[in-house]
């Protein structure tokens, strides 16, 4: 716990799925947690129960049910943290358009759909990094992490905008890995295997995707959020200081075939 106690992890999109699982894992190791999320009122009671389980680890918890893509919101939240207190920034925002490029009802993917998705799922990561840098909020040897997916290279109808966003996300990661290295900040992406999360279920024909993933996976099961949270924890340990600018696959070998 001495590696993490007193430090903060900011998790963007952490009210469910991979982000929430990561928040729980880091809190169990003594890290304070800040979750920025966007949820309806009907979802808040369930989320508040999850927050209580995080607080049970004796850590501090901040939650903001606000738009992480809004500049003013971003600046207000970043101002909450003292200098050199943020050990981890984890980008887990899943806000994308799932339209196809051809549709009989003309509800097709547009330029604006691409712009909204790429901003939410890629460029917003860079914006949060820049605001935290401006506030001197990062600790030495801070971790700058984001979730990507195999959709960065594979094609599935309705996933084009998200796929484009993941490609931009990974490009940003590589460039931040080099340009932030003098500040002793590492940047990496974690590529989870097919995982049963709310964002995955929103993908058209997600049940078929899940069946295919189980067949492809050497362990014949889907990835679960805790598998991915374990990798987030590993990447935050001192032993991962020299991992920078890469995509870490956490999929049990699913992407091998």
Q: Is the pLDDT of residue 40 over 90?
A: no
What does residue 107 show for φ and ψ, rounded to 5 degrees? Answer: -85, 65
Query: What order do you get walking across the sheet with 32-37 strand by strand?
Result: 61-65, 32-37, 8-12, 86-91, 138-148, 185-192, 247-250
| The predicted structure's pLDDT at residue 179 | 98
| The predicted structure's pLDDT at residue 82 | 95
pLDDT in tens, 84-139: 999 999 999 998 888 888 877 778 999 999 999 999 999 999 999 999 999 999 99
Q: What percent of the chain has pLDDT over 90?
A: 82
| The predicted structure's pLDDT at residue 2 | 60
Tell me the β-bridge partners of 147. 190
pLDDT in tens, 196-211: 888 888 888 889 989 9
pLDDT in tens, 154-194: 888 888 999 999 999 999 999 999 999 999 999 999 999 99
Tell me the β-bridge partners of 253. none
Mean pLDDT taken over the chain = 94
1 pLDDT band, cuts 50/70/90, is very low
pTM above 0.85, yes or no: yes
In our burial notation (b when 16+ CB lie closer than 10 A, e otherwise), range 38-72 reads eeeeeeeeebeebbeebeebebeeebbeeebbeee
Q: Which CATH class is domain 8-250?
A: alpha beta
Domain positions in the chain: 8-250
What is the average per-residue pLDDT within 140-149?
96
Encoded tokens for 69: 């893509």
In our burial notation (b when 16+ CB lie closer than 10 A, e otherwise), range 135-164 reads bebbbeebbbbbbbbbbbeeebebbbbbbb
Encoded tokens for 26: 């880091």
């Amino acid at each position: 716990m001495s590696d993490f106690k007193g430090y903060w992890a900011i998790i963007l999109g952490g009210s469910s799925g991979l982000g929430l699982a990561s928040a729980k894992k880091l809190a169990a190791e003594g890290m304070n947690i800040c979750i920025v999320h966007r949820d309806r009122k009907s979802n808040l009671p369930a989320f508040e129960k999850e927050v209580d389980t995080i607080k049970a680890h004796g850590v501090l918890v901040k939650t903001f049910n606000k738009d992480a893509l809004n500049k003013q919101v971003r600046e207000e939240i970043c101002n909450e943290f003292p200098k050199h207190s943020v050990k981890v920034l984890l980008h887990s925002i899943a806000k994308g358009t799932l339209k196809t490029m051809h549709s009989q009802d003309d509800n097709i993917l547009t330029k604006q759909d691409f712009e909204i998705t790429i901003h939410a799922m890629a460029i917003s990561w860079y914006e949060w990094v820049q605001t935290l840098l401006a506030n001197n909020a990062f600790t030495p040897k801070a971790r700058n992490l984001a979730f990507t997916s195999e959709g960065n290279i594979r094609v599935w109808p309705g996933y084009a905008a998200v796929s484009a966003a993941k490609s931009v996300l990974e490009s940003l990661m590589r460039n931040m890995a080099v340009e932030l290295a003098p500040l002793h900040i590492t940047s990496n992406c974690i590529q989870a295997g097919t995982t049963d999360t709310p964002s995955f279920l929103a993908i058209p024909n997600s049940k078929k995707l899940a069946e295919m993933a189980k067949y492809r996976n050497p362990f014949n099961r889907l990835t679960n959020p805790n598998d991915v949270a374990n990798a987030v924890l590993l990447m935050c340990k001192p032993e991962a200081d020299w991992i920078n600018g890469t995509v870490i696959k956490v999929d049990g070998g699913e992407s091998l075939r």
